[in-house]
Structure 1
Amino acid sequence: MSEHERLAESPSAESPWRLWGPYLAARQWGTVREDYSGNGDAWGYFSFDQARMRVYRWGEDGIAGICDRHGFLNFSLALWNGQDEILKERYFGLANSEGNHGEDVKEHWWITDGTPTHSWMRVLYRYPQRAFPYARLRELAAHAGRDHREPELSDTGVLDGDRFFDVRVSYAKAAPDDVCVEIEATNHGPEAAPLHLLPQLWFRNTWSWGRDARRPALIGSTVDGWARVVAEHSLLGRYTTHFDGAPTLLVTDNETDEAQLFGRAVNPSRYTKAGIGDHVVEGKTDVCQVVPAGGASQPGTKAAAWYRFDSVAPGESVTVRVRLIAGDGHGSAFGSTFASTMARRKDDADEFYADIAPDASPAEKKVARRAFAGLLWTKQHYRFRVREWLEGDPAHPPSPHERQGPHARNAHWKHMDVADVLSMPDEWEYPWFAAWDLAFHMVPFALVDPAFAKDQLLLLCREWLMHPDGQLPAYEWEFGDVNPPVHAWATLQVYRAEQEATGSGDRVFLARVFHKLLLNFSWWVNRKDPGGNYLFEGGFLGMDNIGPVNRSAPLEHGWRFEQSDATSWMATYALHLMQIALELARHDEAYEDVATKFVEHFLSIAQASTHFGSARRPIWDEEDGFCYDLVSRTLDGGHVEAQPVRVRSMVGLIPVLACAPLEPWVFAELPGFSGRLNYLLRRQPEFGQFLTWHTGADGERSALLSLLDDRKLRRVLTRMFDEAEFLSPHGIRSLSAAHRGGLEVEIAGAPHRIEYEPGESRTAMFGGNSNWRGPVWFPTNALLVQALCALDTFHHGAVTVELPTGSGNRVTAGEAARDLSRRLAGLFLPGPDGRRPADGKRIEGTDSPLWREHVTFSEYFDGDTGEGLGASHQTGWTALVAVLLAGWPGMCGK
């Protein structure tokens, strides 16, 4: 069976082929879900050091691991090099307060391949042969200021001389509930070195909280020469995990070591979560069960197979094979079917990706495939019942009183009850969903797994996630924060991608999302336009520290923000909802009236943003030819005072996105809509500046709705393509480089300073781990590429720009889009010197082929050099590079 056939068999999240996947997080400690403190210090309440011996409440984590879609039974790899002070069971990183730029993982691993049904997955983890330098990494970060680079594992010297093992973990499904696992470790160092590999199986602890007393069981045995662990669970039933060879089976319980951690006299179980590690690393006895040859263990809830390789020669590889099978399994788990399954699934993956990006070069195909693999791997099980989390559990002490009031974190989201597989920004730094990140993820997902893309967009709108008032949850640190409203845009992209691939779009999906987004649009109008003037606020809107001040914090003396980006996002939102309504109206006239509602709302926003009358300033600044945030206040007598925040940043480029065509079929098939539009233009002719008309040779009329008319658009694009401002060799910067020397502006009567920062953030705003003051960010860049393509398509190449500004080289908007797309994709492709710009000064950019063969997908990129920064494994929205390489409905071509 091919991967295409498996996908056809898997239309829903409950489909058998989707039961097992990479749904196990890489980090559960330090998350909001595990924080039961009174002060909301998630990083301090549940730390990395505690994770090895303290049970999680809501999820689990591990290295290169998988679990079932319910998050009950988990499998991952643990390692020991004979020198580490603890068993290596999870990736190490710094908490937000420890890193000089916020949280930061300090490990090297790459997701190298994968298919949408997870019938084939491959991960490579690089494990040092010397003791892992936990303390040294903390020390280096503590002495590094915000002007310094983030210290990395390579800075400690532990990887010098290639003294590491490359541990490759491959998964191949022989059937939906039959998973073959191969673990191959290669010594790249100059001397022989020991290595212990411990594939682990365990149940998430669901029985210790006083809500469900049922307890699953793992029983290890070595009967008849076979090493196996049988897992029994009330929902999953029975699974048997076979271990090839003759490893030592160790069995313990997934229980907290309360005596060690909290000084309690008695532990809830004789054996605890840390028992396996304590036995292997410290040689302790009576901390776990050691299954004797020919014997069996007592029931436990965590088990490992201990493979010891006392001396792995330089260049030598050692291999461990595991098979997880529903039921009792069989005696030929490692017979010919194991090897054939591995080979077939690898061939299936090659076949599946052969048709994606067919015109791309081999180097481009590799980047796209790695991007898809990383995106697929960051599908994670996410379980969170906010009401129970706030109240605490019956079997544990009551929650602190600070968690009971209206000001507790997420106190207004008690309806939220999530237990689903969700697409995460990455598996370590952001192991939770984020609303606008997820929307961008779904565009590349639409090319490989449209069913999952549709499921995710619907899921975020379901009643157990969406707030009753219509707000979409932002992310777990504060569900009530506001992300840009890009959900309708993503829905259109997914619908059109499937329509192009199959010849028909899923109208039921389109309607289901549309109905929920009507509620969300109303929430925006009612909550984020307090003046009722069609100029919107929203806070930082996902772009963190882009302003001179925190735009999410209230201003003094009655001042408030009216934001260029919030207003433009809402204009874009109205256009996307209009387009969805028009598409639905082709088969159901009831949607035609709704489409007219959104075109009217767009025109009102457009009018307010570009001309608001003598008493108010628009966000459009005629003097500068750019869009700015405003701060305004109402004085005695009702007079309104408004001032622009004259900082040229991405907030002034978002208006470019607010454009949408009205194709000839709209006027031919929907007379009610076209009649209402004509009526509006007669009654309010000033709206005409936001429409451009075109009449084809056949007499058919079409129109383009745009927030910026042709003159304003050209002025903005002149700045956008200016190398001294926004245009970098690697994409569009988030802040103009014209502010390199710093800029002081007055906001609400007080001076504030901002400066172009092309790399990592030099401020602590929003944790300091991301920066919108100069770097290149993929999501907004991809939207600009698409907007330029839409303009070019409508105008049939008649719109031209100077690229770069001042060069005398005029190109069409489509050619400019393709140039921008090449710059973005070029971050991951070898340049004339053979190096990838995204690697920068990191160890992946060295001459060693062991490092340079691996592409990494970072959160954002230096505005001058292109070096990848922020979260180092955020394939999430950076996977949009695969879309740029593979093609995208509505794009101008590669």
Structure 2
Amino acid sequence: MPTAERERIYERADNKGWKKWGPYLSERAWGTVREDYSPYGDAWNFVSHDMARSRAYRWGEEGIGGISDNKGHICFALAFWNHKDNIIKERLFGLAGPEGNHGEDVKELYYYLDSTPTHSYMKMLYKYPQQEFPYNRLVIESSRRNRQEPEFELTDTGIFDKDEYFDIFIEYAKADQNDWLVTITAHNRSATEAPLTLLPTIWFRNTWSWGYEQYNSRPMLNGIANNQIEVNHKQLGKYKLYCEDADALLFCDNDTNSERLYGRPNVSKYTKDGINNYIVSGGKKSFINPNQIGTKASAQYTRMVPAGGSVSVRLRFSDQTTMTGPFDDFDDIWKNRLDEADAFYADLQKNVQDTELLAIQRQAYAGMLWSKQFYYYNVNEWLKGDPKMPVPFQGRVYARNETWRHMYTANILSMPDKWEYPWFAAWDLAFHTLTLARLDPHFAKRQLAVILREYYMHPNGQIPAYEWNFSDVNPPVHAWATWKVYEIDKEQNGVGDVNFLERVFHKLLLNFTWWVNRKDVSGNNIFGGGFLGLDNIGVFDRSQPLPMGGRIEQADGTGWMAMYTLNMLRIACEISLTRPSYQDMASKFFEHFLHIASAMNNLGKQNISLWDEVDQFYYDVLHMPDHNARLLKIRSMVGLIPLFAVEILDESLLSQLPDFKRRVEWVLTNRPDLASLVSRWHEPGKGETHLLSLLRGHRMKMILKRMFDETEFLSDYGIRALSKYHEKTPYQFELNSEIFQVRYVAAESEMSMFGGNSNWRGPIWFPVNFLLIDSLLKFYQYYGDDFEIEYPTHSGHVMSVKEATLLVIERLLNIFRRDDSGRIAAFGADRKMQNDPHFKDLYLFYEYFNGDNGMGLGASHQTGWTGLVADLIEYLYKYQTQPQELAVGTEK
């Protein structure tokens, strides 16, 4: 019987009903491309953190632990004041890209602890220092450090050393679709009492200041006594925010303080920063509207929190008019929603037996659900500038995304990280959908469909990459994600959504054609797609023209495309079961795959191929302007990506697709050269299956030999992006007396390429690790237990591919699990996080991880693709019920 939460999910598949309201606020709108109206594209400085409290945003909003409706019109979030800072804590602080020694970096401690898919219950934690927040020290020390030094984090300042901080828990529960209950509980972790002002804040996104007639009318907030705020919005209607036992209600307008920022007259007397100025000035009433009206309002709760004690406040936001008090049924509703959340996860996690893994998985799910965001961007309007602005628009000398004027986005999207990456990234999003599909398959499917809609996808078929440059090239993983989401949905519901497959398939055809026409320069089925998301993995910046001219034929670009063809083949086969005409499309992708595989495995005109027989590994090929070619012998993830191109077709499927089967057999009979290179089609594997792969048994074993070598790719915590071989033996390329070098770097990037905030030269990344695991399990499906490999290489232990793959999963999970000494690798040497009872059970899902010690690096809340840890836990129990009983192999 489905749980109450599962039933709510299926009431409406889109973002309406119970999903109309959710955690859709960004955590950072300042420093983003959308808010940048500078002539030269200087986003980080056009609206800075210091300016953010005073400038109304055009395209989005931000807040701490905030919620909004699905179009971001009405927003609610929390602000705090510790009675020491010179500004209230209204938004999360972090370093702009140029300020950090490894790029942008949030400098706060906050954790997503729980959420249901409809957000009927949500919980997060913010840790707020009682002493003055070290804003300046974080900036100064970070600017002093170079790229070879680690980042200077908030805990490094010592601000938490004496436990002088508040743990502020922010919780929501829905009584109904438009009826929210809010509880804010602040725990004083210090040995002395401390003052705290809580400021639950409601406001309207500013739609009225930009000169568009249809948005000229202002919505209105109106205070009643000290405990109610009436909310009137033309599109959304009327609501009330009930503020139990508030000290006061404070009102201003969500309008820019042009006088402070630009020396120009203000439109509103009570500007966006009015509540901030009122609080920190000690209560100067000139900053807030005495009539208790405006477009931004806070309920003020100033409390003395006892040592080791806590205070709690309750609010309710509702469109309901009741005869009883708004808090009379509060506790009963709260308990019901919490019980329903526990019941939902008890059902979802029923296969997981380990209590530590249960906790890791549930927080990973919470992070995925909290990372939704309303993303609004009309590129054409943004490029032209608005009729009215706080300062006159000077135009754009550098018109970022000029060729994407068709884009008009106004959707709830899954974000990589709502502070560091508060904009969608196409290939990140594809990975998010796998984890989201287990929670809410409707939402996951919608994410894949919307990114391919005509108002996203370029008319030429390109999928937009990310806000800073929609034209960058990301790996083509959307077909893979589409098939995985389809499988997860089918497993949960017992029936596959073929209509979803068909809808997405047609759009992917356009994108596939773009790849073939734009990224196969010579028309020889070898691809060079740009950096492909692997930022600085190569000797050159692959997003830019080569300094010596020429071009690179990429092992990863070609591997990705081989994978793409097989994904499309599998989707076409599935659709063909009910729409037989799609067998023609299945045949088309089967043959296209054969030609890519042939190109990868054969010598080209320069007598050189992507596979190097000496090293038994795949490399990129550099074609020089003088027509000479050479292998770029870098042992990196680039050479492992061909493993991703694998698909299994079984006889039962083929027997239902007679036209496709007949065409396959004709091709293999008449082109034996292709058949012998690609797969042993006429040698069925385990369970009468057929293997389609770039790798036959020998080459696969050679690649796995390197991948499972602990002196190369295999870390104690997963598969590194670059072989550790290059630590002592860097790859060097000389050009005009200049040496270009690739050296293994286990942690943060030592280079400024891509802002210096991303490194694929050693760390462990979850998305590619997950793809490797998914591919290896497909190989096992074909080969079974008879195909044995040594794991780790040189250990003498021989086992099946499945056993080795599960042990890789164990290593990835060891990033988050406590080891025998009680340490969590992701926390590194941070004693507070390792040992403190108020820290040690709180997980952060980082962007990537140190290739040697598993420490978390990069964006600290990139639950998006690192949330795949939840799926790895499912894989562990699916393929081996008791993980502690994994075989270590037999020594030979």
TM-score by length of 1: 0.96
Cα distance in 1, alignment partners of residues 399 and 253 from structure 2? 33
Q: Match of 2:90?
A: 89
Deviation (angstroms), 1:744: 3.4
SS where residue 851 of structure 1 aligns? coil
Q: Match of 2:281?
A: 282
Cα distance in 2, alignment partners of residues 444 and 506 from structure 1? 18
- Give the aligned residue type for 2:332: S
Q: Match of 1:171?
A: 172
Deviation (angstroms), 1:299: 3.2
Which residue, 8, 23, 38 being the options, matches 2:10? 8
Determine whether 1:561 maps to 2:552: yes
- Give the aligned residue type for 1:277: N
Deviation (angstroms), 1:748: 6.6
Cα contact 1:616–1:641 (8 A) shared by 2: no
Which residue, 743, 746, 751 being the options, matches 2:733? 746
Q: Say if 1:733 and 1:545 are closer, same or farther in 2 by CA, change over 3 A.
A: same
Q: Match of 2:314?
A: 321
Deviation track 1:515-559 (CA, whole Å, cap 9, x = no partner) reads 000000000001111111111011111111111221111114431
- Give the aligned residue type for 1:7: I
Deviation (angstroms), 1:219: 3.3
Q: Match of 1:443?
A: 434
Q: Match of 2:562?
A: 571
Cα distance in 1, alignment partners of residues 113 and 121 from structure 2? 11
Q: Match of 1:724?
A: 711
SS where residue 508 of structure 1 aligns? helix
Cα contact 1:197–1:308 (8 A) shared by 2: yes
- Give the aligned residue type for 1:598: F
Determine whether 1:350 maps to 2:350: no
- Give the aligned residue type for 2:280: V
- Give the aligned residue type for 1:102: G
Cα distance in 1, alignment partners of residues 644 and 481 from structure 2? 14
Q: Match of 1:294?
A: none
Give 1:645-656 correspondences, 5 Å limit. 645-656=632-643
Give 5+ residue unaligned stretches, structure 1: 292-296
Which residue, 521, 529, 543 being the options, matches 2:534? 543
Which residue, 494, 518, 523 being the options, matches 2:514? 523
Q: Match of 2:889?
A: none
Cα distance in 2, alignment partners of residues 108 and 47 from structure 1? 20
Cα distance in 2, alignment partners of residues 886 and 353 from structure 1? 13
Which residue, 750, 756, 761 being the options, matches 1:768? 756
Q: Match of 1:387?
A: 380
Cα contact 1:217–1:299 (8 A) shared by 2: no
Q: Match of 1:306?
A: 300
Deviation (angstroms), 1:84: 0.5
Q: Match of 1:373?
A: 366
Determine whether 1:836 maps to 2:824: yes
Which residue, 690, 697, 700 being the options, matches 1:710? 697
Determine whether 1:474 maps to 2:468: no
Cα distance in 1, alignment partners of residues 852 and 325 from structure 2? 57
Deviation track 1:653-700 (CA, whole Å, cap 9, x = no partner) reads 0011111011112321112212211222222211112112366699x8
Cα contact 1:789–1:890 (8 A) shared by 2: no
Q: Match of 2:870?
A: 882
Cα contact 2:239–2:318 (8 A) shared by 1: yes
Deviation (angstroms), 1:746: 2.7
Deviation (angstroms), 1:329: 6.0
SS where residue 785 of structure 2 aligns? coil
Q: Match of 2:812?
A: 824
Give 1:491-890 correspondences, 5 Å limit. 491-613=482-604, 615-633=606-624, 635=626, 640-688=627-675, 689-693=677-681, 701-746=688-733, 751-842=739-830, 845-887=833-875
Cα distance in 2, alignment partners of residues 843 and 51 from structure 1? 34
Give 5+ residue unaligned stretches, structure 2: 884-892
Deviation (angstroms), 1:770: 1.2
Cα distance in 1, alignment partners of residues 256 and 421 from structure 2? 25
Cα contact 2:416–2:862 (8 A) shared by 1: yes
Deviation track 1:238-266 (CA, whole Å, cap 9, x = no partner) reads 111000013200010000111111111x2
Deviation (angstroms), 1:218: 3.3
Q: Say if 1:892 and 1:621 are closer, same or farther in 2 by CA, change over 3 A.
A: farther
Cα contact 1:667–1:701 (8 A) shared by 2: no
Cα contact 1:128–1:165 (8 A) shared by 2: yes
Deviation track 1:336-371 (CA, whole Å, cap 9, x = no partner) reads x11111111111111111123323301000000000
Which residue, 417, 427, 434 being the options, matches 1:426? 417
Q: Say if 1:642 and 1:696 are closer, same or farther in 2 by CA, change over 3 A.
A: closer
Deviation (angstroms), 1:215: 3.0
Deviation track 1:308-350 (CA, whole Å, cap 9, x = no partner) reads 11x2111111011010001556651111x11111111111111
Cα distance in 1, alignment partners of residues 84 and 606 from structure 2? 72
Q: Say if 1:633 and 1:351 are closer, same or farther in 2 by CA, change over 3 A.
A: same
Deviation (angstroms), 1:849: 1.2
SS where residue 239 of structure 1 aligns? strand
Cα distance in 2, alignment partners of residues 586 and 94 from structure 1? 53
Q: Match of 1:187?
A: 188
SS where residue 61 of structure 1 aligns? coil
Deviation track 1:199-255 (CA, whole Å, cap 9, x = no partner) reads 0000000000001343343333344xx611111111110111000013200010000
SS where residue 293 of structure 2 aligns? coil
Q: Say if 1:128 and 1:298 are closer, same or farther in 2 by CA, change over 3 A.
A: closer
SS where residue 693 of structure 1 aligns? coil
Identity %: 47
Q: Say if 1:845 and 1:194 are closer, same or farther in 2 by CA, change over 3 A.
A: closer
SS where residue 255 of structure 2 aligns? coil
Deviation (angstroms), 1:613: 4.0
Deviation track 1:154-188 (CA, whole Å, cap 9, x = no partner) reads 22222221100000010000001000000000100
Determine whether 1:339 maps to 2:334: no
Deviation (angstroms), 1:589: 1.5
Deviation (angstroms), 1:137: 0.6
Cα distance in 2, alignment partners of residues 772 and 696 from structure 1? 38
Which residue, 421, 425, 444 being the options, matches 1:453? 444
Cα contact 1:814–1:892 (8 A) shared by 2: no
Cα contact 1:200–1:303 (8 A) shared by 2: yes
Cα contact 2:691–2:782 (8 A) shared by 1: yes
Q: Say if 1:862 and 1:454 are closer, same or farther in 2 by CA, change over 3 A.
A: same
Cα contact 1:33–1:58 (8 A) shared by 2: yes
Q: Say if 1:770 and 1:462 are closer, same or farther in 2 by CA, change over 3 A.
A: same
Q: Say if 1:41 and 1:532 are closer, same or farther in 2 by CA, change over 3 A.
A: same
RMSD: 1.8
Cα distance in 2, alignment partners of residues 287 and 683 from structure 1? 86
SS where residue 456 of structure 1 aligns? helix
Deviation (angstroms), 1:284: 5.3
Q: Say if 1:616 and 1:326 are closer, same or farther in 2 by CA, change over 3 A.
A: farther
SS where residue 380 of structure 1 aligns? strand
SS where residue 404 of structure 2 aligns? coil
Cα contact 1:536–1:562 (8 A) shared by 2: yes
SS where residue 535 of structure 1 aligns? coil
Q: Match of 2:890?
A: none
Deviation track 1:811-833 (CA, whole Å, cap 9, x = no partner) reads 11111111111111121111111
Q: Match of 2:888?
A: none
Aligned residues: 875
Q: Say if 1:5 and 1:687 are closer, same or farther in 2 by CA, change over 3 A.
A: same
Cα distance in 1, alignment partners of residues 424 and 418 from structure 2? 10
Cα distance in 2, alignment partners of residues 619 and 803 from structure 1? 26
